[in-house]
Amino acid sequence: KKKLKISGRELLSVPIQVFGLEQLQVLEMSPERESCLRYRMELLPQEIGRLRNLTCLYVDSNNLKKIPAEIGTLSCLERLTLSNNSLSSLPAEMGALQRLHSLHLANNSLTEFPAPLCQLRSLTFLDVSDNKIGTIPSSIRHLEKLETLLLLFNSLESLPEDVCLLRNLHTLWLGNNHLRSLPAAFGELVNLDWGYSCCSCNFEGNPLESPPPEICSRGPEGIREYFSSLRKI
C-alpha cells in the first residue's frame, strides 16, 4: 500500500501494523472536513519516524497535544495538516523537513510563532490562523518561497519589517488581530492579490491607524505614498 486512510470517531491511536508499511506515502487519520467530527487521538507515536517514504500526513481534527521529535526524520514529507488539535508547541526537529511546502496549523493553542517553521525554506503555504500568537519573529524572512500566509484570529499587535521581504507572497490574511500599524515597507509586497476578497490581503477586524483602512484599500501604491508623505513631514 502507498496510501492509507484510517477513520472512526473513536480513533484513539495509530494501529501498530501501520508502522510496518515502509512504502506508505500518504497516511490520513482525520475526518472529512464536511462532517464536523473530531477524532480522539492525543498522541502521534514515535514510531511515525519509521515511515520514511511519507509525502503526505493528514492528522486534522484530533486531540493531539504533542508532536514527537521523530517527525523530523520524515525527509520526504511535503504536506502536513495538524489543524484543529490542541498543540501548544512544535518540536525543534520539524525544522529538518526541508521538502515540506504545505503546513496547516489552524485552530490550535499556539501562543507564539514556532521557531522551527522559519527553517522550512521550501514552504509555500502556511496556515496558523485561530491561535493566540502575539508576535512574528524577524527570522520569518527566511521563508523566501512562501506564497500564502494565513494569520487570521490571532493576537498580533505588530508585524516585523522582515515580513516585507517575503516578495513571493500572493495571499496574506491578517484579519481579526490587534494591529494598529503596518511596517513602512509593507507597500513593497506588490505580488499580493490586493482587495478584500477571499484570496487577498485582508485587514478586516484590526484597529488600524497607520495607515488607516481607506489607505490600505488602495493597495501597495497607496501605502507607499502614505509612508512617503510621512517622511516628508
Q: Where are the domains of the chain?
A: 62-231
Task: Describe the strand order of the beta sheet including 171-173 as a list of residue ranges.
Answer: 3-5, 26-28, 56-58, 79-81, 102-104, 125-127, 148-150, 171-173, 201-202
pLDDT of residue 194: 72
Is the pLDDT higher at 49 or at 9? 49
* Across 97-101, 176-180, 204-208, 218-222, least confident range: 218-222
What is the overall mean pLDDT for the chain?
92
pTM of the model: 0.93
Residue 131 has pLDDT above 70, yes or no: yes
C-alpha cell at 159: 508585524
C-alpha cell at 199: 484570496
Residue 174 has pLDDT above 80, yes or no: yes
Residue 34 has pLDDT above 60, yes or no: no
With b for 16 or more beta-carbon neighbours within 10 A and e for fewer, the 77-87 pattern comes to bbbbbbbbbeb
CATH placement of domain 62-231? 3.80.10.10
pLDDT of residue 185: 94
Confidence bin at 64 (pLDDT 50/70/90): very high
Amino acid at 195: G
